[in-house]
């Protein structure tokens, strides 16, 4: 009897403890979302040379993703803020610090400019925040500078540098000249493209670097023309690329038989140049608005919010990355960065941007890419009908193999 009473007493104690644990767990579960809001910050170029390919369009894309998700996650509101880093590293890092330290931003998205992106990657890692890069090209984000909470989404200099170079060498372009934007993005693309040129038996006739937002490219184009190189690779993008291609046509470079390839080119660049100037240029793109019914449906909604402009691959990638982040927050049951990052790697990326996409351990989102050629004016049938998809390239075939990765997160 004494033993029975003892057991009953023990059961009552265990039950009381269980109630206590349950009561204590409830507040913790309620706090699974820090500060009772999931806050996303789009840090981008709103006014500079890259503002057309991302800028306010990236904000529109992120807002559409949040709306499609239902504007809440884990019963908490989703808030979106944005800022212009003005293409200045000190401005970008200052905003990132303020957002994280004072405004409780959970994830930073877009991050145009490789130098700014690399700095923000470090800030986000130290603060245990998610950073998703859709605009920068440097492969260091998933290489030597990789982070457990950092993700690279749309393209990188490896995917866009290797593909067009190999294709043109196969067409007989055996001598090359490089015109390179003089900052981290251009340096990275130049190194990758030069290595590809040399590895495929072609030669480099010369190279020159230009400052960001150069008003005149004649000092860089004339040496390229004089070199007689069969192919001129332009490691630049945005308005710099548009200005350069227009001036190249004025100097008769293309008419003279030299080929210009712009590995990192976007729909907005073609629109700025016009088909008369841009026709025939080949490049790699991660998304084209007129490819499927789903891409066209997204593009229609986007254009209604963004002055009739169709989305670039960067802007579509912002939508995809924000949507995937929110799915991961829901699956993880928290907005704590490491838990969300694990779910982001675990979940497949299946949307209008990428079918069967996957995030590797180094943070690279691997998806199919497209070799495209700019249409001639006569081939374009309606507004924004600019790109012809020449080939689909599987993600595993166009992104840097993990076996060559320098990321410390990759198991060797």
One pLDDT digit (tens) per residue for the chain, 412 residues: 444 444 444 444 444 444 343 333 333 333 489 999 999 999 999 998 889 999 999 999 999 999 999 999 999 999 999 999 999 999 999 999 999 999 999 999 999 888 999 999 999 999 999 999 999 989 999 999 999 999 999 999 899 888 889 888 988 999 999 999 998 888 888 999 999 999 999 999 999 999 988 889 999 999 999 999 999 999 887 788 889 999 998 999 988 999 998 888 999 999 988 999 999 888 899 999 999 999 999 999 999 999 999 999 999 999 999 999 999 999 999 999 999 999 999 999 999 999 999 999 999 999 999 989 899 999 999 999 999 998 898 999 899 999 999 999 998 6
For residues 217 and 181, give the distance between their C-alpha atoms in angstroms, rounded to a whole number.
Answer: 11
Residue spans of beta strands (DSSP E) within 85-174: 107-110, 130-133, 150-152
Quick one: pLDDT at residue 27? 35
pLDDT confidence of residue 166: 86
Beta strands in 191-296 (DSSP E): 203-210, 231-235, 259-261, 282-285
Task: Report yes or no: 155 and 264 within 8 Å, Cβ to Cβ.
Answer: yes
Question: Quick one: CA dihedral 3, 7, 12, 17, positive or negative?
Answer: positive
What distance lies between CA 161 and its chain's CA centroid? 15
Q: Please check whether residue 283 is in contact with residue 263, taking contact to mean a CB–CB distance below 8 angstroms.
A: yes
Q: Chain-centre distance of CA 256, in angstroms? A: 35
Confidence at residue 49, expressed as pLDDT on a 0 to 100 scale: 82
**Tally of CB atoms within 10 A around 11:** 10
- Report how far apart the first and last C-alpha atoms of the chain are (Å, whole number): 63
The pLDDT of residue 163: 83
pTM: 0.86
Length of the chain: 412
- Partners of 204 in beta bridges: 176
Q: What is the pLDDT of residue 9?
A: 46
Decide: 230 and 170 in contact? Cβ < 8 Å.
Answer: no
At residue 16, the pLDDT reads 41
Q: Element (H or E) spanning 341, and its range? A: helix 337-346
> What does the buried/exposed string (b/e) look like for 370-388 if buried means 16 or more CB atoms within 10 Å of the residue's CB?
bbbbbbeeeebeeebebbb
Local structure of 329: helix, strand or coil: helix
């Amino acid at each position: 009897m004494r033993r029975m009473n003892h057991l009953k007493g023990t059961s009552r104690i265990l039950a009381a403890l269980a109630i206590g644990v349950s009561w204590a767990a409830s507040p913790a579960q309620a706090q699974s979302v820090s500060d009772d809001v999931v806050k996303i910050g789009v840090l981008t170029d709103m006014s500079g040379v890259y503002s057309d390919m991302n800028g306010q369009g990236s904000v529109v894309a992120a807002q559409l993703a949040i709306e499609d998700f239902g504007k809440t996650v884990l019963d908490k509101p989703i808030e979106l803020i944005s800022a212009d880093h003005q293409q200045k590293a000190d401005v970008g890092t200052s905003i990132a610090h303020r957002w994280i330290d004072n405004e409780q931003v959970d994830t930073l998205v877009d991050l145009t400019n490789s130098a700014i992106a690399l700095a923000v990657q470090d800030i986000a890692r130290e603060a245990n925040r998610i950073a998703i890069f859709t605009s920068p090209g440097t492969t260091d984000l998933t290489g030597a500078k990789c982070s457990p909470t950092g993700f690279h989404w749309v393209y990188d200099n490896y995917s866009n540098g290797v593909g067009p170079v190999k294709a043109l060498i196969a067409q007989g372009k055996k001598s090359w000249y490089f015109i390179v934007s003089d900052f981290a993005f251009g340096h990275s693309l130049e190194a990758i493209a030069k290595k590809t040129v040399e590895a495929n038996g072609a030669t480099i006739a010369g190279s020159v670097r230009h400052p960001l937002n150069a008003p005149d490219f004649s000092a860089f184009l004339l040496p390229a023309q004089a070199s007689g190189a069969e192919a001129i690779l332009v490691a630049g993008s945005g308005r710099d690329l548009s200005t350069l291609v227009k001036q190249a046509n004025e100097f008769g470079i293309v008419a003279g038989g030299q080929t210009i390839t712009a590995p990192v080119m976007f729909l907005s660049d073609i629109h700025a140049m016009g088909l008369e100037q841009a026709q025939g240029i080949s490049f790699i793109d991660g998304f084209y608005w007129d490819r499927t019914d789903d891409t066209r449906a997204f593009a229609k909604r986007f254009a209604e919010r963004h002055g009739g402009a169709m989305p670039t691959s960067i802007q579509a990638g912002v939508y995809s990355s924000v949507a995937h982040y929110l799915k991961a927050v829901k699956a993880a049951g928290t907005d704590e960065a490491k838990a969300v990052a694990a779910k982001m790697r675990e979940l497949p990326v299946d949307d209008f941007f990428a079918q069967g996409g996957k995030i590797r351990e180094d943070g690279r989102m691997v998806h199919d890419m497209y070799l495209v050629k700019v249409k001639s004016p006569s081939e374009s049938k309606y507004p924004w009908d600019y790109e012809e998809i020449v080939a689909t390239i599987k993600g595993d075939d166009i992104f840097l193999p993990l076996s060559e990765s320098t990321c410390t997160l990759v198991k060797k």
